[in-house]
Amino acid sequence: MHGFILAAGFGKRMGAYTDNCPKPLLEIDGIKLLDYSLYLLEKWKIEKKIINTHYLSERIEEYFSNFTLVEIQISREKEILGTGGGIYTALQKFWSDLGLLEKFLVINPDTILFPLDEFHPDFPILFPDSLSHLYLKPIEDGKSYTTLFLKEGRVFFHNVESSIPCYYIGLSLFKLKAFTNRNYQANMNFELGSLWRQLSDEGLLTGEFYNGDAIDIGEKEFYEKLKEQTDFFRGRKSDIFSKLNSLKKIINNS
C-alpha cells in the first residue's frame, strides 16, 4: 500500500509560526510534525510514500533529501490545488509507478495520532463496496469541525436517525476508483470534502472511530498548548528517532 502525506497548505491558521516555516516542519517535543507522519507510515509498513508540496516547498523537499533509504515521491504544485486536487494530480504524475495499486492511505500531519498496536491501515472486510474509509472521533462541544454522521459504518453529511455526530481526524483510506470516472483533471483545484460528499450520496463512504488518541494541532492555539511540552510523546521519542534514523544514510566523515 502507498501512503500520501498532505503538506502543500499555507498553514494560515498557525499565525506567525508559519511565516517562514511550512506547518509540517513545526516541532513538538523535538519531533517535526512531518517526522511523526513518516514514523507512522513506517510503523504501519507503508512501503512507498507520496507527498505534495507548495508553500515553502523547497524547505520540505530539502528536508526529505536526508531520507535516502526510503522511497519518497514528491509532487510539487505550482499553484495550490486543494486536498483533493493535490492527491489526484500526484496520482496522475506517478500513475506509471503505481502499477496495480488499488488502495492508498492519506494522512494529515497536523493531527498527532497515538495508534494502538492492533491498528491496520486496510479497508474493513465488512464494506467491500467502500471507496473511501474515514477515521473519526465523536464531536466535542465547542469544536468547530465539520460535523459528519456515522451510522452502521456509513458516513453521511446530514443527520440520519440514530447516527452519531463525529468529525474527521485527518486519516483516511482510498481506492483509486474513488477518483476515476468523475470530472476531475490533473492540476484541478478541489477539496476532498467535495469528493466525500459525492461518495456519501452514492453510499460508498464508510468510517469508524479511531481507537487511540487524535490530537489536533492545526490551529495556533492548539499548537501553543503543546509546543512547550518536553514529554509530549511519553516514552515514544527514542523509538521515533530510532525509526527515522534508520531511513537516513548516515555518512561518517571521521
User: pLDDT, tens digit, for every residue of 149-206?
Assistant: 999 999 999 999 999 999 999 999 999 899 988 999 889 999 999 999 999 999 999 9
The SS3 of residue 207 is: strand
The per-residue DSSP string of 78-102 comes to: SS--HHHHHHHHHHHHTHHHHTT--
CA 246 – CA 67 distance, rounded (Å):
9
Pick from 66-75, 83-92, 126-135, 243-252: least confident: 243-252
Average pLDDT, the chain: 90
**Residue 253 pLDDT class (50, 70, 90 cuts):** very low
For residue 250, the 8-state DSSP code is: -
Any bridge partners for residue 57, and if so which? Answer: none
Q: Which helix (H) or strand (E) holds 225?
A: helix 220-226
Q: What's the rounded Cα separation, in Å, for the pair 29 and 19?
A: 21
Measured CA to CA in angstroms, residue 53 lies from 35, 84, 150, 233, 253 at distances of 15, 13, 32, 26, 32
Q: Which CATH class is domain 2-245?
A: alpha beta
Closest by CA to 168, choosing from 148, 192, 195, is: 148
**Per-residue model confidence (pLDDT) at position 96:** 58
pLDDT at residue 251 in the model:
52
At 252 the pLDDT is 45
The whole-number pLDDT of residue 190 equals 96
Q: 105 to each of 50, 137, 181, 219, how far by Cα in Å?
A: 10, 18, 20, 23
- Least Cα distance to 103 among 46, 187, 42, 162 occurs for 46
pTM score: 0.93
Task: Report how far residue 215's alpha carbon sits from residue 110's, in angstroms, rounded to the nearest whole number.
Answer: 9
